[in-house]
Amino acid sequence: MMSVIRINTTDKHIIHLAAIVGGTKSILYKKADLLAYDCDGFTIHKHLPRAVVFPKNTEEVSKLVKYCSEHGLPFLARGAGTGLSGGAIPVNGEVIISMVRMKKLISVDLENRRAVVEPGFVNLKLTNSISDRGYYYAPDPSSQYCCTIGGNVAENAGGAHCLKYGVTTNHILGLEVVLPNGDIIEIGRYGVLDEPGYDLLGVLTGSEGTLGIVTKITVRILKNPEGKQTVLAYFDKVEDGSQAVSDIISAGIVPAALEMMDKTAIEAVEAAAFPVGHPKDIEAVLLIEVDGITAGIEEQINQILEVCKKSNVREVRAAKDEEERGRWWANRKTGFGAMGAISPDYLVQDGVIPRSKLPEILRKIAQISEESGLRIANIFHAGDGNLHPLVLFDARKPGEIERALEAGSACLKACAEVGGTITGEHGVGIEKREEMWFVFKEEEILAQTNIREVFNPDNLLNAGKLFPTPGRCVEIKKEMKV
Amino acid sequence: MSVKESELNQEPPCTSSLGNYLWSDPPQEKKWADCVHCGMCLESCPTYEQSGEEQHSPRGRVYLIKAVAEGKLNVDEHFADPVFSCLDCRACTTACPVDVDVGGLIEEARGQIRQAIPLKGWKGAVNKFFLHGVFPHPNRLHTLGDLLRFYQKSGLQNVVRKTKLINIMPQHLMELESIMPEVKGSVRKNNPSVIKTKGETKNEVSLLTGCVMDVFFSDINQSTINVLTRNGNDVSIPENQTCCGALHVHAGDREMGRKLAKQNIIAFEDADKVIVNAAGCGCMMKEYSELFRDEPEWEERAKVFEEKVVDISKYLYDTGYEKPKAMINTRITYHDACHLAHGQGVRKEPRDILLDIPGVEMVHMPNADRCCGSAGIYNITNPEMADAVLKSKMKNVPEGVEMISMGNPGCMMQMALGVQKYGRNQKIVHTVQLLDWAYQKEEGDSNDVSHKN
| CATH number assigned to the domain comprising residue A211 | 3.30.465.10
* Rounded CA separation B334/B198 (Å): 30
Q: Quote the domain boundaries for residue A43.
A: 2-98
Pairing of strands A345-348, A257-262: unpaired
Across the interface, whether the CB atoms of A28 and B95 are under 8 A apart is answered: no
Max mean pLDDT range (A52-61, A243-252, A463-472): A52-61
Q: Are residues A92 and A41 both part of a single domain?
A: yes
Which of the residues B31, B37, B48, B56 would you substitute to probe the A interface, choosing the one with the greatest number of A C-beta atoms within 10 Å?
A: B37
Q: Are residues A16 and A27 both part of a single domain?
A: yes
Across the interface, whether the CB atoms of B42 and A82 are under 8 A apart is answered: yes
* Rounded CA separation A239/A242 (Å): 5
Backbone angles phi, psi at B230, to 5 degrees: -60, -30
Binned at pLDDT 50, 70 and 90, residue A7 comes out as confident
Q: Are residues A211 and A238 both part of a single domain?
A: no
Q: Are residues A172 and A81 both part of a single domain?
A: no
Residue of chain B nearest A342, judged by CA positions: B34
Q: Are residues B153 and B93 both part of a single domain?
A: no
For residue A379, CA distances in Å to A287, A332, A383, B233, B366 come to 11, 9, 12, 52, 32
* Rounded CA separation A105/A116 (Å): 6
Using an 8 Å CB-CB cutoff, list chain A residues near B98.
272-273, 337-338, 340-341
Instruction: Please say which residue of B318, B338, B361 terminates a domain.
Output: B318
pLDDT at res. B182: 72
Q: Has residue A421 been placed in a domain?
A: no
Q: Has residue B84 been placed in a domain?
A: yes
Q: Are residues B151 and B232 both part of a single domain?
A: no
CATH number, domain containing residue A73? 3.30.43.10
Q: Are residues A476 and A462 both part of a single domain?
A: yes
Backbone angles phi, psi at B429, to 5 degrees: -130, 155
Segment-wise mean pLDDT, segments of 10 residues, chain B, 453 residues: 41 62 93 92 96 97 96 93 96 94 97 90 75 77 74 72 67 70 76 88 95 85 96 95 94 95 97 96 97 96 98 97 94 97 97 97 96 86 92 96 95 94 94 96 66 36
- What ipTM does this complex have? 0.90
B40 touches chain A (CB under 8 A): yes
Question: In angstroms, what separates the C-alpha of A275 from chain B's closest C-alpha?
Answer: 10
Instruction: Please say which residue of A342, A357, A382 terminates a domain.
Output: A342
For residues B204-218, one letter each, b for 16 or more C-beta atoms within 10 angstroms of the residue's C-beta and e for the rest, the string is: bbbbbbbbbbbbbbb
pLDDT at res. A82: 96
* Chain CA centroid to CA B110, Å: 18
Residue of chain A nearest B30, judged by CA positions: A344
Provide CB contacts within 8 A for B131, sequence distance 6+: B247, B248, B251, B253, B256
Question: In angstroms, what separates the C-alpha of A80 from chain B's closest C-alpha?
Answer: 8
pLDDT in tens, A266-284: 999 999 999 999 999 999 9
Q: Are residues B280 and B225 both part of a single domain?
A: yes
pLDDT at res. A168: 96
Instruction: Please say which residue of A295, A320, A342 terminates a domain.
Output: A342
Q: Are residues B314 and B345 both part of a single domain?
A: no
Residue of chain B nearest A39, judged by CA positions: B37
Backbone angles phi, psi at B8, to 5 degrees: -55, -40
Helix or strand run (H / E) with residue B346: none
Q: Is the pLDDT of residue A482 over 50?
A: no
Helix or strand run (H / E) with residue A450: helix A442-455
pLDDT in tens, A305-314: 999 999 999 9
Q: Are residues A214 and A293 both part of a single domain?
A: no
Using an 8 Å CB-CB cutoff, list chain B residues near A338.
97-98
Beta bridge partners of B309: B274
Residue of chain A nearest B77, judged by CA positions: A32
Q: Has residue B402 been placed in a domain?
A: yes
Q: Are residues A235 and A218 both part of a single domain?
A: no
DSSP string across A158-216: --TTHHHH--GGGGEEEEEEE-TTS-EEEESTT--SS-SSS-HHHHHTTSTTSS-EEEE
Q: Are residues A244 and A325 both part of a single domain?
A: yes
Q: Are residues A16 and A113 both part of a single domain?
A: no
* Chain CA centroid to CA A234, Å: 27
Q: Are residues A122 and A219 both part of a single domain?
A: yes
Which of the residues B18, B32, B36 would you substitute to probe the A interface, choosing the one with the greatest number of A C-beta atoms within 10 Å?
A: B36
pLDDT at res. B134: 76
pLDDT at res. B397: 97
pLDDT at res. B187: 81
* Rounded CA separation A56/A61 (Å): 8
Task: For chain B, report the end-to-end CA distance as a whole number of angstroms.
Answer: 80
Q: Are residues B302 and B330 both part of a single domain?
A: no
Across the interface, whether the CB atoms of A120 and B37 are under 8 A apart is answered: no
Beta bridge partners of A214: A177
Q: Residues 256..275 of B with a Cβ closer than 8 Å to A: which? A: none
Q: Has residue A72 been placed in a domain?
A: yes
Q: Rounded mean pLDDT of chain A?
A: 92
Q: Is the dihedral of CA B166, B170, B174, B180 positive or negative?
A: negative
Binned at pLDDT 50, 70 and 90, residue A288 comes out as very high
A337 touches chain B (CB under 8 A): yes
Which of the residues B53, B59, B68, B73 would you substitute to probe the A interface, choosing the one with the greatest number of A C-beta atoms within 10 Å?
A: B53
pTM given for the model: 0.90
Amino acid identity of residue B318, one-letter, is D
* Rounded CA separation A371/A365 (Å): 10
pLDDT at res. B166: 64
Nearest by CB to A32, which of B35, B79, B96? Answer: B79
Across the interface, whether the CB atoms of A337 and B97 are under 8 A apart is answered: yes
Q: Has residue B363 been placed in a domain?
A: yes
Q: Are residues B332 and B314 both part of a single domain?
A: no
pLDDT at res. B200: 92
Using an 8 Å CB-CB cutoff, list chain B residues near A345.
36
For residue B144, CA distances in Å to B137, B181, B215, B241 come to 11, 14, 9, 19
DSSP string across A210-244: SS-EEEEEEEE-EEPPSEEEEEEEEESSHHHHHHH
Q: Has residue A18 been placed in a domain?
A: yes
Residue of chain B nearest A42, judged by CA positions: B37
Across the interface, whether the CB atoms of B72 and A35 are under 8 A apart is answered: yes
pLDDT at res. A192: 73
Q: Has residue B287 been placed in a domain?
A: yes
For residues B347-381, one letter each, b for 16 or more C-beta atoms within 10 angstroms of the residue's C-beta and e for the rest, the string is: bebbbebbebbeebebeebeebbbbbbbbbbbbbb
Q: Are residues B277 and B199 both part of a single domain?
A: yes
Question: In angstroms, what separates the C-alpha of A427 from chain B's closest C-alpha?
Answer: 16
Backbone angles phi, psi at B206, to 5 degrees: -115, 150
Nearest by CB to B52, which of A82, A101, A346? Answer: A101
Nearest by CB to A100, which of B52, B67, B99? Answer: B52
Amino acid identity of residue B330, one-letter, is T
Q: Is the pLDDT of residue A256 over 90?
A: yes
A4 touches chain B (CB under 8 A): no
Instruction: Please say which residue of A194, A223, A252 terminates a domain.
Output: A223
Using an 8 Å CB-CB cutoff, list chain A residues near B36.
43, 336-337, 339-340, 345-346
Q: Are residues B218 and B284 both part of a single domain?
A: yes
How many contiguous H segments (helices) and E segments (strands) does chain B have? Answer: 25, 9
Q: Is A391 helix (H, G, I), strand (E, B) or coil?
A: strand
* Rounded CA separation A273/A82 (Å): 19
Question: In angstroms, what separates the C-alpha of A419 from chain B's closest C-alpha?
Answer: 30
pLDDT at res. A2: 43
Across the interface, whether the CB atoms of B39 and A31 are under 8 A apart is answered: no
Q: Has residue B450 been placed in a domain?
A: no
Q: Residues 63..92 of B with a Cβ closer than 8 Å to A: which? A: 63-64, 67, 72-73, 76, 78-79, 81-82
Residue of chain A nearest B70, judged by CA positions: A396
Q: Are residues A93 and A110 both part of a single domain?
A: no
Q: Residues 205..224 of A with a Cβ closer than 8 Å to B: which? A: none
Q: Give me the percent of chain A exceeding a pLDDT of 90.
A: 82
Q: Has residue A389 been placed in a domain?
A: no
Q: Is the pLDDT of residue A472 over 70?
A: no
- Residue A56, number of CB atoms within 10 A of its CB: 13
Using an 8 Å CB-CB cutoff, list chain B residues near A122.
43
For residues A304-325, one letter each, b for 16 or more C-beta atoms within 10 angstroms of the residue's C-beta and e for the rest, the string is: bbebbeebebbebebbeeeeeb
Pairing of strands B360-362, B330-334: parallel
Q: Are residues B55 and B76 both part of a single domain?
A: yes
* Rounded CA separation A451/A440 (Å): 16
Q: Has residue A349 been placed in a domain?
A: no
Instruction: Please say which residue of B116, B133, B150 terminates a domain.
Output: B116
Instruction: Please say which residue of B67, B90, B116 terminates a domain.
Output: B116
Give me the mean pLDDT over the A169-188 stretch. 96
Binned at pLDDT 50, 70 and 90, residue A342 comes out as very high
Q: Are residues A334 and A246 both part of a single domain?
A: yes
Residue of chain A nearest B33, judged by CA positions: A344
The count of structural domains within chain A is 4
Helix or strand run (H / E) with residue A266: helix A263-271
Q: Quote the domain boundaries for residue B226.
A: 187-318
Binned at pLDDT 50, 70 and 90, residue A325 comes out as very high
Across the interface, whether the CB atoms of A334 and B63 are under 8 A apart is answered: no
CATH number, domain containing residue B49? 1.10.1060.10
Across the interface, whether the CB atoms of B72 and A33 are under 8 A apart is answered: no
Q: Residues 104..143 of A with a Cβ closer than 8 Å to B: which? A: 120, 122, 143
Residue of chain B nearest A103, judged by CA positions: B52
Question: In angstroms, what separates the C-alpha of B19 from chain A's closest C-alpha?
Answer: 14
Q: Has residue B448 been placed in a domain?
A: no
Q: Are residues B169 and B219 both part of a single domain?
A: no
Number of CB pairs, chain A paired with chain B, less than 8 A apart: 105
Q: Are residues B147 and B90 both part of a single domain?
A: no
The count of structural domains within chain B is 4
Backbone angles phi, psi at A128, to 5 degrees: -60, -30
Q: Has residue A32 been placed in a domain?
A: yes
Across the interface, whether the CB atoms of B73 and A35 are under 8 A apart is answered: yes
Among the listed residues B295, B293, B294, B377, the one whose alpha carbon sits nearest the alpha carbon of residue B119: B377
Please tell me the least confidently modeled range out of A378-392, A417-431, B374-388.
Answer: B374-388
B146 touches chain A (CB under 8 A): no
Residue of chain B nearest A270, judged by CA positions: B98
pLDDT at res. B4: 42
Q: Is the pLDDT of residue A264 over 60?
A: yes
Q: Are residues B241 and B162 both part of a single domain?
A: no
CATH number, domain containing residue B429? 3.40.50
Q: Has residue B451 been placed in a domain?
A: no
